[in-house]
Every structure is written in C-alpha cells, then in structure tokens.
C-alpha cells in the first residue's frame, strides 16, 4: 500500500522533506521495491523457460509504477510540515485518517513541480476558521468605523 510505504519511508528526524528528497525516495526505493522478488523469480527459471505469471505480474507492476511516476504519482504531501505531523500520527493503516492529509502529485517528467490534488480536511477546517475570524474582524472594524463617524 502506497500510504504504508511512504509512512515508513518518512525519516523521523525532519519536520518535512524537500521536493528533491521526495523524488529520491520515489526513484531509489518506491520504483525498486519489487526488484528482489523479480530477481528471485528469474533465478528459479531455467534457461529458455518463459517467465512465471508471478514474475510477469511483478514486472507489470513495476512498469505501471514507472509510468504513473512519469505522468504523476499521487502521494501525501511530505513537503508540508502540517501534513507530515499528521501523517506521523497515523497508526494501524486506518483509512479514515487519510482524508486529513494534503495530497500532491509529483512527476519525473516535471520534477520541480508539485500539484496539490486535495487539501486535507484539517487544512480545510483551519482555512474555514481563519476566514470566519477574518469576516468577524472586518465586521467589527466596520462597526467601529461607523461608530467613529457618528461621533
């Protein structure tokens, strides 16, 4: 599972990763996670024998991962400290926790770009609270301005 992988790949000693660090984890670890199993399957095959269905599935999964990364891989935003803090608290693979996280799409085709695909619910709640507070402050300022005009 993608979330479990990135949860375990996240270093515990940093508040967030840089974008190059995210790409490094994807290129050096995510895309090679099936390599050992592929090599084991290939080693059990006799010379001239076709690949096993398991090896074919692993190779197809690796190719699909590479293509998804080329066109845009959606992952939790490990460059955002708030998302990283929330993600570190995720336990037991609870799927109900995932909507709290901001999601981004990163691509090998455009490695300097991040596309936010979904704001986390917590982030949405904070933005709504800030908007409500700003509206209340504007209303209070308008009320004070009207009171001063009457004086």
Give tens-digit pLDDT for 48-75: 899 999 999 999 999 999 999 999 999 9
What integer pLDDT is reported at residue 147 of this predicted model? 67
pTM: 0.78
**Which H, E and C letters describe the chain, residue by residue?**
CHHHHHHHHCCCCCCCCCHHHHHHHHHHCHHHCCHHHHHHHHHHCCCCCCCCHHHHHHHHHHHHHHHHHHHCEEEECCCCHHHHHHHHCCCCCCHHHHHHCCEEEECCCCCCCCEEEECCHHHHHHHHHHHHHHHHHHHHHHHHHHHHHHC
What integer pLDDT is reported at residue 1 of this predicted model? 82
84 band by pLDDT with thresholds 50, 70 and 90 = very high
């Amino acid at each position: 599972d993608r979330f479990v992988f990135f949860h375990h790949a996240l270093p515990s000693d940093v508040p967030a990763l840089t974008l190059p660090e995210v790409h490094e984890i994807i290129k050096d670890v995510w895309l090679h996670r099936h390599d050992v199993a592929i090599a084991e399957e290939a080693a059990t095959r006799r010379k001239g024998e076709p690949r096993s269905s398991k090896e074919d599935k692993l190779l197809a999964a690796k190719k699909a991962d590479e293509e998804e990364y080329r066109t845009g891989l959606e992952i939790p935003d490990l460059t955002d400290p708030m998302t990283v803090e929330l993600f570190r608290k995720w336990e037991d693979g609870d799927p109900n926790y995932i909507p709290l996280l901001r999601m981004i799409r990163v691509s090998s085709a455009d490695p300097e770009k991040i596309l936010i695909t979904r704001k986390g619910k917590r982030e949405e709640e904070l933005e709504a609270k800030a908007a409500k507070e700003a509206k209340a402050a504007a209303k209070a300022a308008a009320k004070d301005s009207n009171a001063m005009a009457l004086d």
